[in-house]
C-alpha cells in the first residue's frame, strides 16, 4: 500500500500501479480509480485554461470576420476534429448559412444553407439543443435532404457534433466540430464545445454591436459632412466604443464638444457620470422615455435605451438652445451610452458566472489550489489572495452586495451563491474586523452573517467555510438573525459549533479588555470576577471572600462594566465569561 501511495504521489502511469498492487485486486482497483480521477481533473483544468485563453483572444478581437475564424479554429483544435465550422441565423430567410470554416476543402459545403429542422444543424437551430452522431450519413434521427447530404458527402464528413450559440435567450447560430471518419463524441467534448459556443455567442453579439455603433456613427458623420463638431463627435464616440471606454468618457466628450454640462443617471436615477459644471438641483431624468431629445425646463433630456429597455438617461444643461445638428449628436451619444451600459452589464454577468464557478471549485476542494489561484488572478489581478476571511450570508441575501460599503467592497476577492448561501471571501486580516464591518449590512438586510478565518487556499479555506456554515446554523437556532458574528462572539455556543478551537484566542476575545487593564495598572479585576461568580454573583459575599469592603467590590464591578459593556451579567453572557475564566485558569 505504501508503494502504491508513493507511485500515485509521483504521478506514475496505470501500468505501474497495477504492477505494484500485485495480487491485491482491491488495492489495484482503488489505485486505478484514483489515477483516473487525477487524469480527469488534469484534463478539466487544461480545458478550463484553454477556455480562458480563448476568452482572452476573443475579447481582443475587433473584426467580425476575424472573431468567427478564431472561434472555428479553436473549436477544431480543442475538440481535435478534422473540420470545424459555424453557421449564423438569418431571420429574414428563416434558416442558417455557412459563415466560417476551418479544415474545409469543398466549395459547395462552404456555401451551404440549412433550413430549420433539416439535417443535424437544422435540428440544432430549430430546438436550440446540441446534437451529435458518430455516423451522420446512416443516422435516421435526422431529416436528410439532397442539398445537405450532397455537400456533406463532398466534404467527406461522417461524425458531426453541433451546439447552439445563444445570448440572453436569442439564437445566434450553430458551432460544429466534425470528423471524416467514424468517431463517438463524449459528453465531456459536447460540454466543452458548448462552453466555447457560449463564449463565442457573447463575443459575436458584442462585436456586431460595436460594428453597428461604428456604422451608425459613420452615418451621423455623412449626414453632417462639413460640420466640424459633428465629425469630431463621430471620431470621439467611435474611439470611446472601440477602445472599451466607459460612460465617464462619453459624458466628458459630449460636454467638451457642445460646451455644456452633462449628467448621466441609470434607470432608477442613480448618478453614473458627471461632466462640466452641472447644477446641484435634481435633474428631470425620469420625464423622458424615448430616444428623442426633449426640452424640460432649462435642461435637455434623452433616454438611453437598448433592446427596448431603458438603461438610463442623459441630461444636458448650461445652454439656451441646441441646433438640429447638436441635438442629433446628443441623441447619438445616448445610443452609444446605452450600448456601453449594456456591455458593462453583460461583462458583470459574465464575471458573476465566472466567480460562481470558481467559488464552487474553491469550496468543494476538488481542484488544485495553484490552479485556482491562477484563475482568480485573471478575475481580480490587483488583490491579495493568500489568506482570506470567509463570510456566509444566510437568508434573503439578494441585497447584501448592494449594501456593502465601498471600503469593504474593495476588500472583496470572490463572491457567489453556494449551497443556498451567499459566500464572501474577503482580504482582511481577521474575522473580528470583518464581522464588525459587516454588522450594518446584516442589520439593513436582515441576513445572518457568520464569519471565520482567515485561512489559506486549499483544505484550510474549505474547512473555514464549513465552520462558517455551522456557525450560521447555530446563530439562527439562537435567534441571532440579522447579525454578523465570529465563533468567539457566540461564547460557549460558538465553541461547541467549531471544529477546531484556539483557546487562547477565545479567552483573549472574551476577557482581553480586562486582562489588558490589569496588566497596565497592576489591578486584579480578573480575581474579582472569579470571586464574584464563585459567590453566586453576590458583591457582599465576594467582598467577604476577598477581605475587602463591599463598596470596593462594587467599584471594581463598575470598572468591569465599563470594559465589557453593561450586558456582561446577563445569564448568557455571564456563562461565557465563566467558561473563559476557567479556560484562563487552565492555561495558567
3-state SS of 69-134?
HHHHHHHHHHHCCCEEEEEEEECCCCEEEEEEEECCCCHHHHCCEEECCCHHHHHHHHHCCCEEEC
Q: Which of 107-111, 203-207, 405-409 has the lowest mean pLDDT?
A: 203-207
* 82, pLDDT greater than 90: yes
**Contacts from 396-402 at CB under 8 Å and sequence distance 24+?**
396/445, 396/446, 396/447, 397/421, 397/422, 397/445, 397/447, 399/444, 399/445, 400/424, 400/441, 400/445, 400/447
Tell me if 519 sits within 8 A of 526, measured CB to CB.
no
The owner of cell 465553541 is 495
- Read off the pLDDT band of 253 (50, 70, 90): confident
* Residue 569: band (very low, low, confident or very high) from pLDDT cuts 50, 70, 90: confident
Query: Which residue has 502504491 as its cell numbers?
Result: 4
Dihedral sign for Cα 7, 12, 14, 15, please: negative
The answer, yes or no, to whether residue 1 has pLDDT greater than 70, is no
* DSSP notation for 14-72: HHHHHHHHTT-HHHHHHHHHHHHHHHHHHHHHHHHHHHHHHHHHHHT---HHHHHHHHH
Closest CA to 465 of 454, 480, 479, 476: 454
Instruction: Identify the band that residue 112 occupies on the pLDDT scale cut at 50, 70 and 90.
Output: very high
The torsion angles phi and psi of 89, rounded to 5 degrees, stand at -80, 130
Report the alpha-carbon distance of residue 314 to residue 264 in Å, rounded. Answer: 5
Confidence of residue 223 (pLDDT cuts 50, 70, 90): very low
Band (pLDDT 50/70/90 cuts) for residue 157 is very high
Q: What is the pLDDT of residue 69?
A: 85
Q: What's residue 211's pLDDT?
A: 60
Q: Examine the pLDDT at 227 and tell me if it is beyond 60.
A: no
Query: Residue 318's pLDDT band (boundaries 50, 70, 90)?
Result: confident
Which of 225-234, 319-328, 530-539 bottoms out in mean pLDDT, i.e. has the lowest? Answer: 225-234
Determine the pLDDT at residue 177: 95
Instruction: Compare 162 and 481 and report the one with higher pLDDT.
Output: 162
- For residue 225, name the pLDDT band (cuts at 50, 70, 90): very low
At residue 349, the pLDDT reads 60
Q: What is the pLDDT of residue 207?
A: 65
Closest to 262 (Cα-Cα) out of 249, 248, 251? 251
Residue with cell 474549505: 462
CA-CA distance, 357 to 8, in Å (whole number)? 28
The top-scoring range by mean pLDDT among 117-126, 238-247, 373-382, 420-429 is: 117-126
Cβ atoms of residues 421 and 415 within 8 Å: no
Residue 109: the pLDDT is: 95
Name the range with the highest mean pLDDT among 109-118, 226-235, 365-374.
109-118
Mean local confidence (pLDDT), 193-222: 68
Position 385 scores a pLDDT of 61
Asked if residue 340 has pLDDT above 80, the reply is no
* Cα 364 to Cα 46, 87, 369, 463, distances in angstroms: 19, 38, 11, 10
Lowest mean pLDDT among 54-58, 358-362, 514-518: 54-58
Residue 48 has pLDDT above 50, yes or no: no
Q: How many CA atoms, within 13 angstroms, populate the side-chain half-sphere of residue 339?
A: 25
Q: Which of 259-268, 308-317, 341-350, 442-451 has maximum average pLDDT?
A: 442-451
Q: What mean pLDDT is predicted for residues 243-267?
A: 78
pLDDT at 379 exceeding the cut of 90: no
- The pLDDT, as a whole number, for residue 247 is 77
Q: Residue 563 to residues 533, 534, 580: CA-CA distances in angstroms?
A: 17, 20, 16
pLDDT number for residue 455: 85
Top pLDDT among 5 and 541 is at: 541
Strand order across the 309-317 sheet:
271-275, 261-266, 309-317, 299-306, 294-296
Confidence class for position 125, pLDDT limits 50, 70, 90 = very high
Average model confidence (pLDDT) for the chain?
76
Residue 95 binned pLDDT confidence (cut-offs 50, 70, 90): very high
Position 481 pLDDT exceeds 60? yes
Q: Which range (167-176, 292-301, 504-513) has the least confidence?
A: 504-513
Lowest mean pLDDT among 211-215, 351-355, 432-436: 211-215
Asked if the model's pLDDT at residue 585 lies above 80, the reply is no
The pLDDT of residue 192 is above 50: yes
pTM attached to this predicted model: 0.38
Whole-number pLDDT of residue 224: 46
pLDDT at 56 over 60: no
Nearest to 362 by CA among 315, 278, 312, 419: 419
- Tell me which of 8 and 260 has the higher pLDDT: 260
Q: Is 395 left (phi over 0), alpha (psi -120 to 50) or beta?
A: left
Q: Which residues are CB-contacts of 536 (< 8 A; sequence separation ≥ 6)? A: none
DSSP code at position 13: -
**Does 199 have pLDDT greater than 60?**
yes
Angstrom distance (rounded) from CA 278 to CA 298: 12
CA–CA gap between residue 323 and residue 339 (Å, rounded): 25
| Across 35-49, 257-271, 408-422, least confident range | 35-49
From residue 114, give the alpha-carbon distance in Å to each of 125, 145, 177, 365. Answer: 9, 10, 16, 45
Indicate the range of 150-159, 207-216, 220-229, 436-445 predicted with least confidence: 220-229
Q: Which residues contact 411 (CB under 8 A, 6 or more apart)?
A: 383, 426, 427, 428
195 SS3 class? helix
Whether 285 has a pLDDT exceeding 60, the answer reads no
pLDDT at 208: 66
pLDDT band at 149 (very low <50, low <70, confident <90, very high): very high
* Residue 45: pLDDT band with limits 50, 70, 90: very low
List Cβ neighbours of 34 (8 Å cut-off, separation of 6 or more): 8
Amino acid at each position: 500500500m505504501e508503494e502504491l501511495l508513493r507511485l500515485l504521489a509521483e504521478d506514475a502511469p496505470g501500468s505501474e500501479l497495477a504492477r505494484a498492487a500485485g495480487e491485491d485486486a482491491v488495492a489495484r482497483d482503488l489505485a486505478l480509480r484514483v489515477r483516473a480521477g487525477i487524469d480527469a481533473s488534469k484534463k478539466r483544468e487544461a480545458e478550463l485554461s484553454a477556455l480562458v485563453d480563448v476568452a482572452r483572444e476573443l475579447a481582443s478581437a475587433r473584426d467580425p470576420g476575424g472573431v468567427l475564424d478564431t472561434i472555428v479554429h479553436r473549436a477544431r483544435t480543442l475538440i481535435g476534429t478534422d473540420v470545424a465550422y459555424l453557421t449564423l441565423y438569418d431571420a429574414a430567410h428563416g434558416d442558417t448559412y455557412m459563415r466560417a470554416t476551418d479544415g474545409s476543402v469543398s466549395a459547395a459545403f462552404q456555401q451551404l444553407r440549412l433550413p430549420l429542422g433539416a439535417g443535424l444543424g437544422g435540428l440544432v437551430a430549430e430546438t436550440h439543443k446540441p446534437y451529435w452522431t458518430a455516423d451522420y450519413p446512416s443516422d435516421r434521427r435526422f431529416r436528410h435532404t439532397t442539398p445537405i447530404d450532397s455537400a456533406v458527402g463532398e466534404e467527406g464528413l461522417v461524425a458531426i457534433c453541433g451546439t447552439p450559440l445563444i445570448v440572453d435567450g436569442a439564437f445566434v447560430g450553430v458551432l460544429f466540430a466534425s470528423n471524416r471518419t467514424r468517431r463517438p463524441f463524449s459528453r465531456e467534448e459536447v460540454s466543452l464545445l458548448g462552453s466555447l459556443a457560449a463564449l463565442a455567442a457573447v463575443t459575436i453579439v458584442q462585436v456586431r454591436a460595436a460594428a453597428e455603433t461604428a456604422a451608425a456613427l459613420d452615418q451621423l458623420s455623412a449626414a453632417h459632412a462639413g460640420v466640424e463638431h459633428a465629425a469630431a463627435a463621430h471620431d470621439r464616440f467611435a474611439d470611446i466604443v472601440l477602445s472599451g471606454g466607459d460612460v465617464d468618457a462619453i459624458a466628458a466628450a459630449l460636454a467638451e464638444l457642445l460646451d455644456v454640462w452633462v449628467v448621466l443617471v441609470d434607470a432608477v436615477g442613480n448618478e453614473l457620470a458627471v461632466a462640466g459644471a452641472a447644477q446641484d438641483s435634481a435633474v428631470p431624468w425620469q420625464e423622458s422615455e424615448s430616444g428623442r431629445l426633449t426640452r424640460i425646463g432649462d435642461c435637455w433630456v434623452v433616454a438611453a435605451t437598448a433592446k427596448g429597455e431603458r438603461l438610463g438617461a442623459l441630461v444636458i444643461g448650461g445652454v439656451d438652445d441646441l441646433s438640429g445638428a447638436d441635438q442629433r449628436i446628443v441623441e447619438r451619444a445616448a445610443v452609444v451610452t446605452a450600448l456601453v451600459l449594456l456591455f458593462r452589464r453583460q461583462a458583470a454577468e459574465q464575471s458573476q458566472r465566472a466567480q460562481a464557478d470558481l467559488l464552487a471549485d474553491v469550496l468543494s476542494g476538488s481542484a488544485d489550489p495553484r490552479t485556482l489561484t491562477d484563475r482568480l488572478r485573471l478575475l481580480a489581478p490587483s488583490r491579495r489572495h493568500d489568506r482570506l476571511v470567509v463570510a456566509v450570508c444566510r437568508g434573503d441575501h439578494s441585497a447584501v452586495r448592494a449594501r456593502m460599503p465601498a471600503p469593504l467592497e474593495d476588500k472583496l476577492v470572490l463572491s457567489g451563491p453556494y449551497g443556498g448561501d451567499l459566500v464572501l471571501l474577503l482580504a482582511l486580516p481577521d474575522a473580528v474586523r470583518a464581522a464588525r464591518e459587516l454588522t450594518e449590512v446584516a442589520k439593513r438586510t436582515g441576513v445572518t452573517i457568520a464569519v471565520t478565518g482567515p485561512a489559506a487556499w486549499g483544505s484550510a479555506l474549505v474547512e473555514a467555510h464549513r465552520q462558517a456554515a455551522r456557525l450560521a446554523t447555530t446563530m439562527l437556532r439562537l435567534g441571532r438573525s440579522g447579525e454578523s458574528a465570529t465563533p468567539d462572539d457566540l461564547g460557549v455556543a460558538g465553541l461547541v459549533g467549531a471544529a477546531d478551537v484556539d483557546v487562547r484566542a477565545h479567552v483573549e476575545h472574551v476577557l482581553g479588555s480586562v486582562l489588558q487593564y490589569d496588566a497596565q495598572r497592576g489591578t486584579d479585576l480578573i480575581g474579582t470576577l472569579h470571586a464574584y461568580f464563585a459567590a453566586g454573583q453576590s458583591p457582599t459575599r465576594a467582598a467577604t471572600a476577598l477581605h475587602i469592603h463591599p463598596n470596593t467590590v462594587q467599584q471594581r464591578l463598575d470598572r468591569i462594566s465599563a470594559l465589557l459593556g453593561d450586558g456582561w451579567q446577563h445569564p448568557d453572557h455571564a456563562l461565557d465569561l465563566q467558561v473563559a475564566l476557567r479556560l484562563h485558569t487552565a492555561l495558567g
